[in-house]
Structure 1
């Protein structure tokens, strides 16, 4: 141990080398069903940041914990290595993305190893290698065979800075900015390849309810993104254009439709733009689908309401979207906020046809229409001014109208759209398609996969367009001249199945070993950022379901349990280079050690919560590890020879309690609580050693428990101390400590001891007792425990009367009545305590702590030995206290 503390650098280097040499973290292929623990693999940006460290410490700690519990554990790591940032970095540095990416991987691997993360590096993958992306291409072709791939013209999100298409999920915020560079996104019409995720929309939605191990917030985000709506489709006739279908979830409001609206890119709108200058100007110059203020232009056309026969004006409006519903809608300003705003702006009638249901409504009268002059009434209610449907409740009216209107039929719409995977960039998986003038798009024969990327060309736009020699080829079908597809795949394709590749990373004839995947999947515990709640997780679920349907995968969901970890902040702000508030993990490792960084982050907050980085907290954590090492060294150097007495009994009970509670917290991934327990036991052991000569067996058991409980989070020093204590093998493979004790019992015992100590402090302070000479703690009589149990279990209105039915309670006279009143007053908050004998034993074993604090002898008195004057104040869980001064 150095003067400044223990030599963390030497300790960590020694055990990292020992783990590598012994292959401690390797998962053999022949295990039947390992516990699969996985952190979302990183993009190799060059250096780890604190978010990485927190994410991977969580998975590493849990993997280590499960290994110590006897599980075979699969804990791999790889690299989400394709993507535009590497391509841009290569352009800026006049190099190529491959070299840049692998340099970053090398750097980050070294940093991960310095953190002591226990990965099975033999399973490492990098998605930018042909050995991996060959299977992206193979899967694309399988999806194509099953009718799940489509090529079509589509309006897409285009980032002019990145010069590529973005998925809807990659466009962020109301300002519609690129998720990578914050450039405003434009709309373009391009021919794109799509994966038909909408074919699985219903299952993706309905199976969310079964994801009980996922955070509710993530499940709701996925429900919202899929956005299933039940409603009706109904036709409105537009003069000169025939029937136009509108989708509505509120056909009950159809009598209040006062205008009809078309999306700017609806076929009728585009046709009108060719002959109507106002419409053309609006579409080309004014329409802003992302604006807060709805806008539109009147077309001069009218649409016929199929229920009332009324002619209503037709507008082209920018708040109508072609890919939501049918791109046409009946507008009811009285009952839709957006329609209301538009109607106010354009001076269109606002006609209420739904009224709130009166509290005393019997159905015999029709309520008055609401005042909607200021805002729309959007809830269900009772139909008014709706002809024969007036007086019906909204739900009933929707059913009747859908049945009665000839063109109306039930319909389901989704917000979810097919997944456009085409990207106009180099550093991604080449889409395995060849374009032939005669044959059209033809998939590359399987035996010719992978289609490898050519050498990088530093150019604007799509570099693959400039790779002429690579691009020119022959058609697999007719042998004629043809060109390769120059778009590459969205990198979310890479991450939609990578967890399967870890299972058999070297397999050469399939993307994954089916039999092994069926045994090992799904991932038991997955950890990653909340920012992936929609894109990555939804796409992974989609891929898993397709593979279950067409490749024999036995599981339809990829991840059983999901933890979305919080951010690491500095002074309340997310760490970022732009803010200049980044704390370097490498500096922390060099100054304090990896164990300190890991332990500080894991004890600072629950994994799901954000927390503030604190240099003071880091130093305090390092000091704790240094003290613990000193305690072990002191024990090994000078083994104590104390008695196995009441104090040792208390310490033994605390060891059991800590093991029981910390184990439960590790199971729940609430590491901060498990570590708080462990540090509490360390303090108890230190107090024990300072109070008396410890009993060697008890003290060594306590130290060993602390070391093993810390091992998942601070593995290096745990190995060092395990070794110093004479432990066999590696702490990483040691058996998890066990305790035959009930968790609830432990909590009650601790609460009793702490409440009693707090009550003594209060009495000393209020009474102004400076030097207590004796402290008596008096246990309540048995009848009060019986009364408490009756009060908890009883639902009788007259609790005192029920208590008095018990003769041994009734015999206590006024004392029983007074206690019954106390129980009645606190009835909702009552909870069971320990029994009188257990209370007596617990307080007697903890008396030494009270004696140390107040420097006075403590006597724990049973009820039958106590004077009545003191005994009357004793209650279950709150013994009476008498202090002599």
Structure 2
């Protein structure tokens, strides 16, 4: 034992070697009770950071717990190994992305092993290997066969420094900078490959309601991203340009449309810019769709309201987006906050055409027209200032107007757009297409010619695949003529949209996954990862799973049953980051304190979904706790005390049961911090027990064994050490390792435990209050008096009876009746006596006075008046 604690390095190295020798974490392909636990696999950046450690400690702890509960657990690890960062790093270091990536993987794998994560490393995958990405290409072919792939021109975010397309999420801030290099992003028109995720928009949206094991915030983010809106399309005539279609969810407000707005890139806006310098300047220099305030510029155009025939002015406005709705909208400032703000800014008229519905009992009353001068009235109501439609409710008016306006029709709009997967970079899956020179067009590479492997890396500007001339030149699979390979690679989100299926059969050569095994293991029972993946990765994974269910006989349509989005590890309230210089090295913590200390501190600091602050003091305290526990087990094993099985032992036994009952439930809910707090409280109770009297051997040993097992999912190395020190019970089906040991069981449930603990704590608190209020310096004796049986009967009657007036007399029953809504059942009188008698030693230890627990029939009636169920009377002699 060192001054800094136990020799964690020796303990951890010993058990890691033992696990490896025994293949302790290998998962069989044929299982009876499958449980799939998965953390989002990492990008191999070269070093683990504290976010990694937290994420993977959560999944590791849960996987170990489920395994101890008897489940067959699949808990794999792999690498999200493609992507631009590796390509940029290789260019900077004049190496190639493959070597750089695998060096990083080797480093991170070693760090994960040092943390003691219980992965089945035989199932390890890396998405940058041909053995993996050939199945990306195979899936592309299947999607193409099902008409879920399309190639078309599209405006894209282009980083001139990285020379690649960026997803919207990779364009950051008001300045619209590249997420990797902070270069201003440009807009370009390029031919792109798309996966038609919009074909599944309705199912993706509607099935969110069934994802009951997902955080509500994530579910709502997905709903918002899909953005389905029911409404109507209606045409407005714009002088000199013909009819323009606008989408609106509030056709009932059309009489209040006082101006018309077009997106900056709408064709009419672009035409106006050619003739109007102010419009051109706004589009090129001022339009800011991400801005806090709506902005725009007037044109000399007018639009005709199809209902009123009124000519209203046309604006080019940056709050109108070409890829949302139709890129044109009727603006109703009286009933839309954004339109209201813009109208005020531009001096346009604001007309109320919807009023609140009259209150009940006011039928026939004229609706009170709202004052919209200061803000819009955005709710449904009844129509006013709307001619023949006055008095109709909003829903009825929408239906009538859609029928009456010749150009209007019901429609559904989505914010979700098809998934552009083209990336102009080297380090990704080559899109398996060739472009024939002789008229065949774009031809998908046949399955027998897969994988299309990446050529050697060429360190050049732009896309290295464009420079790989020999690789690019090929023949057309259809006609045999000359052809050129597609040089775009796939978005790396493709890799992660199905990787969880590859883990079930990572070495399979005939298919991306073994269907029978996938149907057995899927869906993933518990998935853990960062909130930053709440939309794209999870949405794409759901999309892939549904397509595979439709066309490849996968039995499950959702990939993840339960999802936990873990919080961040912070330092002094700020997210750890290299740029801020506030990172903490996991390697240093492991070397100085041990992996178990790091894992335990992180898991007890907060609930997994909450952010928490890293604390060196907290780490030291956690290490000290583990050191004390090791000493307790070693002292017990060396001396094996021989105390009596008395009331104190029964109290400790009850606390062991209580801890096991509560901690198991918390592990089920992934609230590890609460489970660990219970476990540490039990350690404290055991220490107090051993300090107060010579412990009863079986009780004390059972307590230590329970602690070791309850800690095993989080601090597995020391748990193995202490499990071996304690030995196994031949009457139990014990495993060679603690990870194979059965989870401890309790003979009580949480409700009973809560009542028992509340009784003890209330009693201790009452004694403290009496001593404090009475100013007793040296109590000589303490009597704890349990209430008489009839009070328990009265309590039960008050709770269970439906009668409005159970008790007529002005006595205890009448008092109960006054508090009837707040009543709850307590333990029975005999149970209370037993619990309090077993806990009397705690009072004796605290107040250094003898304690007696007394039945009601042993004391005077005057004492009993203060005794109630769950709140015994207290008599103190001073």
TM-score, scaled relative to structure 2? 0.97
For 1:411, the equivalent position in structure 2 comes to 411
Please give the residue correspondences for 1:777-792 in structure 2 after superposition, counting only pairs within 5 Å. Answer: 777-792=784-799
Q: Which of 198-207 and 328-337 deviates more? A: 328-337
For 2:581, the equivalent position in structure 1 comes to 580
Q: Per-residue CA shift, 1:325-359, capped at 9, x if unaligned?
A: 11111111221222223223333222221123343
Q: Which of 244-253 and 473-482 deviates more? A: 473-482
CA contact (8 A) 1:124 1:502 kept: yes
CA contact (8 A) 1:790 1:803 kept: no
1:864 and 2:857 are equivalent in the alignment: yes
Offset of residue 477 of structure 1: 1.9
For 1:188, the equivalent position in structure 2 comes to 188
Offset of residue 275 of structure 1: 4.8
For 2:553, the equivalent position in structure 1 comes to 552
The count of corresponding residues between Structure 1 and Structure 2 is 871
For 2:295, the equivalent position in structure 1 comes to 295
For 1:482, the equivalent position in structure 2 comes to 483
For 2:756, the equivalent position in structure 1 comes to 749
For 2:569, the equivalent position in structure 1 comes to 568
In 1: Cα distance, 2:816 partner to 2:164 partner: 70
Offset of residue 605 of structure 1: 0.9
For 1:307, the equivalent position in structure 2 comes to 307
Aligned with 1:335: secondary structure? coil
Change (3 A) 1:234 1:878: same
CA contact (8 A) 2:807 2:817 kept: no
Q: Which of 637-646 and 164-173 deviates more? A: 164-173
Aligned with 1:334: secondary structure? coil
- Select 1:846's aligned residue among 839, 844, 861: 839
Q: Which of 331-340 and 177-186 deviates more? A: 177-186
For 2:395, the equivalent position in structure 1 comes to 395
Offset of residue 458 of structure 1: 1.6
CA contact (8 A) 1:156 1:166 kept: yes
For 1:807, the equivalent position in structure 2 comes to none
Q: Per-residue CA shift, 1:565-588, capped at 9, x if unaligned?
A: 111111111111111111111111
In 2: Cα distance, 1:147 partner to 1:500 partner: 23
Aligned with 1:536: secondary structure? helix
1:25 and 2:32 are equivalent in the alignment: no
Change (3 A) 1:326 1:743: same
* Unaligned ranges ≥5, structure 1: 805-809, 811-816
For 1:692, the equivalent position in structure 2 comes to 693
Offset of residue 260 of structure 1: 1.8
Q: Which of 846-855 and 477-486 deviates more? A: 477-486
In 1: Cα distance, 2:747 partner to 2:148 partner: 55
For 1:594, the equivalent position in structure 2 comes to 595
Q: Per-residue CA shift, 1:10-53, capped at 9, x if unaligned?
A: 01100000000000100111224520000000110111111111
For 1:803, the equivalent position in structure 2 comes to 807
In 2: Cα distance, 1:229 partner to 1:182 partner: 35
Q: Which of 273-282 and 544-553 deviates more? A: 273-282
For 1:704, the equivalent position in structure 2 comes to 705
Q: Per-residue CA shift, 1:541-560, capped at 9, x if unaligned?
A: 01100110111100000000
CA contact (8 A) 1:84 1:427 kept: yes
For 1:640, the equivalent position in structure 2 comes to 641
In 2: Cα distance, 1:188 partner to 1:363 partner: 58
In 1: Cα distance, 2:159 partner to 2:869 partner: 69
For 2:747, the equivalent position in structure 1 comes to 740
Offset of residue 289 of structure 1: 2.5
In 1: Cα distance, 2:209 partner to 2:9 partner: 48
CA contact (8 A) 2:260 2:328 kept: yes
For 2:660, the equivalent position in structure 1 comes to 659
CA contact (8 A) 2:786 2:856 kept: yes
For 1:161, the equivalent position in structure 2 comes to 161
In 2: Cα distance, 1:340 partner to 1:654 partner: 64
For 2:37, the equivalent position in structure 1 comes to 37
For 2:731, the equivalent position in structure 1 comes to none
CA contact (8 A) 1:787 1:803 kept: no
In 1: Cα distance, 2:775 partner to 2:801 partner: 41
Q: Per-residue CA shift, 1:89-134, capped at 9, x if unaligned?
A: 1111111111111111001000000000000000000011111111
For 2:772, the equivalent position in structure 1 comes to 765
Offset of residue 184 of structure 1: 4.1
Q: Per-residue CA shift, 1:212-252, capped at 9, x if unaligned?
A: 00111111111111111111111222233333211100000
CA contact (8 A) 1:365 1:391 kept: no
Change (3 A) 1:208 1:473: same
TM-score, scaled relative to structure 1? 0.96
Aligned with 2:557: secondary structure? coil
Please give the residue correspondences for 1:133-152 in structure 2 after superposition, counting only pairs within 5 Å. Answer: 133-152=133-152
In 1: Cα distance, 2:817 partner to 2:218 partner: 43
In 1: Cα distance, 2:712 partner to 2:335 partner: 61
For 1:74, the equivalent position in structure 2 comes to 74
In 2: Cα distance, 1:679 partner to 1:48 partner: 28
Q: Which of 513-522 and 404-413 deviates more? A: 404-413
In 1: Cα distance, 2:163 partner to 2:767 partner: 72
Offset of residue 498 of structure 1: 0.3
Offset of residue 198 of structure 1: 0.7
For 1:814, the equivalent position in structure 2 comes to none
Offset of residue 72 of structure 1: 0.6
Aligned with 2:609: secondary structure? coil
* Unaligned ranges ≥5, structure 2: 729-733
Offset of residue 381 of structure 1: 1.9
In 1: Cα distance, 2:40 partner to 2:702 partner: 37
In 2: Cα distance, 1:48 partner to 1:36 partner: 23
In 2: Cα distance, 1:785 partner to 1:219 partner: 47
Offset of residue 825 of structure 1: 4.7
For 2:536, the equivalent position in structure 1 comes to 535
Offset of residue 827 of structure 1: 3.5
1:774 and 2:777 are equivalent in the alignment: no
Change (3 A) 1:28 1:144: same
Offset of residue 75 of structure 1: 0.2
In 1: Cα distance, 2:181 partner to 2:668 partner: 40
For 2:377, the equivalent position in structure 1 comes to 377
In 2: Cα distance, 1:172 partner to 1:365 partner: 53
1:611 and 2:612 are equivalent in the alignment: yes
In 2: Cα distance, 1:822 partner to 1:407 partner: 72
Aligned with 1:333: secondary structure? coil
Offset of residue 855 of structure 1: 1.1
CA contact (8 A) 1:426 1:488 kept: yes
Offset of residue 408 of structure 1: 1.4
Please give the residue correspondences for 1:6-405 in structure 2 after superposition, counting only pairs within 5 Å. Answer: 6-359=6-359, 362-405=362-405
Offset of residue 589 of structure 1: 0.7
- What RMSD, in angstroms, separates the aligned Cα atoms of the two structures? 1.7
In 1: Cα distance, 2:292 partner to 2:696 partner: 73
Q: Which of 232-241 and 45-54 deviates more? A: 232-241
In 1: Cα distance, 2:225 partner to 2:826 partner: 48
Q: Per-residue CA shift, 1:683-710, capped at 9, x if unaligned?
A: 1111111111111111111111111111
In 1: Cα distance, 2:33 partner to 2:752 partner: 34
CA contact (8 A) 2:237 2:244 kept: yes
In 1: Cα distance, 2:287 partner to 2:642 partner: 86
In 1: Cα distance, 2:342 partner to 2:403 partner: 30
Offset of residue 824 of structure 1: 4.4
In 1: Cα distance, 2:693 partner to 2:292 partner: 73
Aligned with 2:108: secondary structure? helix
Q: Which of 686-695 and 168-177 deviates more? A: 168-177
CA contact (8 A) 1:32 1:519 kept: no
Aligned with 1:764: secondary structure? helix
Offset of residue 298 of structure 1: 3.5
Aligned with 1:803: secondary structure? coil
Offset of residue 821 of structure 1: 5.0
1:730 and 2:737 are equivalent in the alignment: yes
In 2: Cα distance, 1:72 partner to 1:40 partner: 20
CA contact (8 A) 2:358 2:365 kept: no
Change (3 A) 1:130 1:33: farther
Aligned with 2:334: secondary structure? helix
